[in-house]
Amino acid sequence: MRRKDKEIEDKELIEVILRRASICRIALSENDVPYIVPLCFGHKDNFLYFHSAKEGRKIDMIRKNNNVCFEIEIDTELVAAENPCNCSMKYYSIIGFGKAFLIEDTEEKREALDIIAEHYSGKSSSEFPETALHNVTVIKVKIETMTGKKSGY
């Protein structure tokens, strides 16, 4: 990280950012063409989980190249100044890299969906109808590296 003064080294603060964030963007690449998509997510241990339709561009891309980058931010706020060149932003953010896998096992899929549901509702609810489990794809990202950054706080 270029700006070491903005680096978040506190692992608990990184966990707070992961818990509080509502969107995670994952970046994929195919034939040197980048693609980024915002997704609802869940986090547990050293994994991120996303639910998805069974077909689509991101699924096709993961099957060809499972290297991903992800980005999360919270508490973003413009710090205005009279001169636009002096404006800045306040934020907490995370950038990470990992490997994406498509979960096929029904029980693992159920557990992953429960992690996602708990992220947004605060409650566990592993009662997913079999049709829902059959009609959804769950993406599991093994986090390889992750760094946090803050500005203005």
Under 8 Å between Cβ of 116 and 50: yes
Query: Please, what are the domains in the chain?
Result: 4-151 (2.30.110.10)
pLDDT for the residue numbered 111 = 94
Going residue by residue through the chain, which has 153 residues, state the pLDDT in tens, using 9 for 90 and above.
Answer: 677 778 898 999 999 999 999 999 999 999 999 999 999 999 999 999 999 999 999 999 999 999 999 999 999 999 999 998 989 999 999 999 999 999 999 999 999 999 999 999 988 776 888 888 888 999 999 999 999 999 988
pLDDT for the residue numbered 4 = 75
pLDDT for the residue numbered 134 = 87
pLDDT for the residue numbered 127 = 80
Q: How far apart are CA 140 and CA 48, in angstroms?
A: 6
Q: How far apart are CA 61 and CA 128, in angstroms?
A: 27
Q: Which residues in 40-136 belong to E strands, given as ranges? A: 42-44, 47-52, 67-79, 88-103
pLDDT for the residue numbered 6 = 82
Q: How far apart are CA 71 and CA 147, in angstroms?
A: 10
